[in-house]
Structure 1
Amino acid sequence: MARPSVADKDVITVDEAIDFYHLSKFTVRKYLREVETADFLAFYRGRKLILKAEFEKFLRENPEMKEVLMHGKSWQRRNQA
Structure 2
Amino acid sequence: MLAEKITYPQYRKYPNNKSYFKIISPEKFEEIQVLGNTKTLHTFEAKILPDRNYISDLTFNYKEHWVVCEKSEYEKLKTANLIIK
Q: TM-score, normalised by structure 2?
A: 0.29
Q: Counting strand residues as a fraction of each chain, which structure ranks higher? A: 2
Which structure has greater helix proportion? Answer: 1
